[in-house]
Amino acid sequence: MKKVIIVTGASSGIGKSTALQLVKEGHIVYGAARRVEKMQDIETAGGHAVKMDVTNHEQVHTEIQKIIEKEGRIDVLVNNAGYAIWGAVEEVSYEEAKRQFEVNIFGLAEVTKAVIPAMRQQKSGKIINVSSVGGKIYSPLGAWYHATKHALEGWSDCLRIEVQQFGIDVIIVEPGAIKTEFADVLSDNFANSKNGPYADLAEAISMTMANTEKPGNSSPPSVIANIISKAIQASRPKTRYAAGKMAKQVLFFRQWFSDRMFDKTILRMVKNMGNN
């Protein structure tokens, strides 16, 4: 059945791959992102490109209302827009940290709040929040990013219980290592920590991120696009889907290892990947 779907963060990576796959499957897809010029391929494929900055709440509501007026409904929202800042807690400014939350949590929340009334009225809908295995685990120099993803996990659980009475499903997708622009953007954030007391750790993490781009060390974005498509098609979707390189393994480690053991495992993984 053809559905009306909004995908945020559709200008690259997981968002773009998801939007293109859903268009191919015959859905009415609106890709939303700040860089509308990066979504021309979505339009060429038969989808729609919408300029949207999720931190601009007025713009969010205006653009979503336009979609509702044109299509009469919104069946699926894929909240994918997000990014990461990286660095030691001591060295990341509050301005950077607040921006991280503005995009990854408050922007996502505003888009969600904008679509819920339509879904509630039609008594159906799916809200798919792209989190990360980073919402369940942690890693050095990633405190602010992990904080947003841990928050998203709990926020999504609460939302699921609130809106299930209206026939709305809330689904969390937890990608592992995925080959996207994410690693490049993330590596750019190490500047503050590469010349101070955390320099050795920053260098190791930076090398680890670079190694995720090597063949075999990460999965293509299509892996997550397939999972999102599966969740959309399911009549009773899971509350969580984990996919991508190392996703299930690290979640298994976190579940069964003590905090101290997991600390050692993560540091060992960083050291080993940084030397490969």
- 26-70 pLDDT per residue, tens: 999 999 999 999 999 999 999 999 999 999 999 999 999 999 999
Answer whether residue 140 shows pLDDT above 70: yes
Active site residue 145: yes
For residue 199, the model assigns a pLDDT of 84
How far is the first Cα of the chain from the last one, in angstroms, to the nearest whole number?
46
Which CATH class, in words, describes the domain spanning 4-275?
alpha beta
Give me the percent of the chain exceeding a pLDDT of 70. Answer: 92
Q: Which of 3, 11, 138, 241 is catalytic?
A: 11
Alpha-carbon span 65 to 45, nearest angstrom: 24
Q: Which of 17, 30, 126, 131 is catalytic?
A: 131
CA distances from 228 to 27, 152, 217 (A): 13, 17, 22
Give me the pLDDT at residue 192, please.
60
Q: Is 219 a known active-site residue?
A: no
Q: Is the pLDDT of residue 272 over 80?
A: no
Q: What is the pLDDT of residues 92-134, one digit of tens each?
A: 999 999 999 999 999 999 999 999 999 999 999 999 999 999 9
Q: Which of 30, 132, 136, 145 is the catalytic position?
A: 145
The one catalytic residue among 149, 156, 198, 241: 149
CA dist 251 → 121, 147, 175, 241, 242 (Å) = 37, 17, 11, 12, 9
Q: What pLDDT is attached to residue 31?
A: 98
Q: Is 93 a catalytic residue?
A: no
CA angle 256, 262, 143 (to 5 degrees): 120
Rounded to two decimals, the pTM is 0.93
Residue 13's pLDDT is what?
94
The full set of domain ranges for the chain reads 4-275
Using CA atoms, how far apart are residues 72 and 63, in angstroms rounded to an integer?
14
Q: Does 149 qualify as catalytic in the annotation?
A: yes
For residue 98, CA distances in Å to 220, 223, 253 come to 30, 31, 30
pLDDT tens across 181-240, in order?
Answer: 555 555 455 556 667 898 888 888 877 777 776 777 788 999 999 999 999 999 999 999
Measured in degrees and rounded to the nearest 5, phi and psi for residue 192 equal: -65, -30
Mean pLDDT of 61-80: 98
| pLDDT of residue 170 exceeding 70 | yes
Q: How far apart are CA 72 and CA 69, in angstroms?
A: 6
Give 4-63 as a DSSP string.
Answer: EEEEESTTSHHHHHHHHHHHHTT-EEEEEES-GGGGHHHHHHT-EEEE--TT-HHHHHHH
Between helices 143-163 and 94-101, what is the axis angle to 10°?
30
